[in-house]
Amino acid sequence: MGKSAALIILCILITSFVSYGQTSKTDSLLRLLQDEIVDTARIDILNELGNELILKSQREAQDYYNEARQKSIDVNDTVRIVTSLIGLCDVYSMNGEYKKALEYITEAMNYAYNNNDLLATCHSRLAIEYYNLGKDEESIKHDRLALHYDLLVKDSFKIAYDLHNIGTYFLGTEHNDSATCYYKKSNEYIKNIDDELTAYNNSRIGFAHSHAKEYDTAINYHLLALKRFEKDSSLYEMAMEETYLANLQSLKNNSSKTLEHINNAKKYSYDLNNHVLIKTVHHL
């Protein structure tokens, strides 16, 4: 279980921008740019356009972030400079250009030095890029720094994500119990118990118990995760949880439950037309 599977900060932030009405929202934002508006409002729209388009057209997103960055520099707006640089970091990271992404987020850090909230966000992004570059020690150092600054600003939502990410370093290692502690602590910071992060935490706790061969407890946590993912019809996550449950039931020699979870995983995989998932399920 690698960190890439559990490091969900970026994924959740990015996928939250995608909606059914994405095209109409993009059009609305573009129309707003035609109006006579103050510079800061124009910069905010440019950054939002980048957010809206980052999964659909990364080249366009990059252009909007760059324009926002330059206009932010022109008006000497530190917060907006950092926001646009984080957007550019995300674009390059999604393209697998991790060194370039690191350059942008390092530049953002130089602007964020006196803002604890921005520093926390930058350190969190740095953790991602160092992980992508295979530098785990640097990665966890920045996850811990992100937690430090989020604790200073008392942002419970971001603290929960920081704890989740730190826990992932210990998952499946000799410090597996530490992973469980971090995930449970993460859940304590989530004010809305129905938040999707609780499902990810519970899934990882399930992995930790599975690693410790505590299969019944692992099954209970994966069932909790599955129940939450079902609320949003998150088919990919549902398929993965069903796969994990099938493996656990197989380890318990419960053939009927194993087959039940395999069939559910197969259904969700075909609904998604995800060939990797389909292949995974067929190998169960």
Burial of 174 (0-12, 13-18, 19+ CB in 10 A): exposed
CB 72 within 8 A of CB 84: yes
- The yes-or-no verdict on residue 80 having pLDDT over 90 is yes
- The yes-or-no verdict on residue 150 having pLDDT over 50 is yes
Tokens read off for 31: 């129309």
What is the maximal distance between C-alpha atoms in the chain? 68
- Of 93 and 23, the structure prediction assigns the larger pLDDT to 93
Phi-psi region of 77 (alpha: psi -120 to 50; beta: other; left: phi over 0): beta
Q: pTM of whole model > 0.85?
A: no
Phi-psi region of 253 (alpha: psi -120 to 50; beta: other; left: phi over 0): left
198 sits in which H/E element: helix 196-211
CB 107 within 8 A of CB 85: yes
What pLDDT is recorded for position 26? 80
Digit-coded pLDDT (tens) for 188-234: 999 887 899 999 999 999 999 999 999 999 999 999 999 999 999 99
Digit-coded pLDDT (tens) for 90-143: 999 999 999 999 999 999 999 998 899 999 999 999 999 999 999 999 999 999
Cα 156 to Cα 195: distance, rounded to the nearest angstrom: 12
Cα 110 to Cα 220: distance, rounded to the nearest angstrom: 45
How high does pLDDT run on average in the chain?
Answer: 89
- The yes-or-no verdict on residue 43 having pLDDT over 90 is yes
Sequence-ordered list of residues with C-beta below 8 angstroms from that of 167, at least 6 positions apart, any chain: 6, 178, 179, 180, 181, 182, 183, 186, 204
CB 231 within 8 A of CB 240: no
Q: Buried b / exposed e across 89-104, counting CB within 10 Å, b at 16+?
A: bbbbbeeeebeebbbb
- The yes-or-no verdict on residue 4 having pLDDT over 80 is no
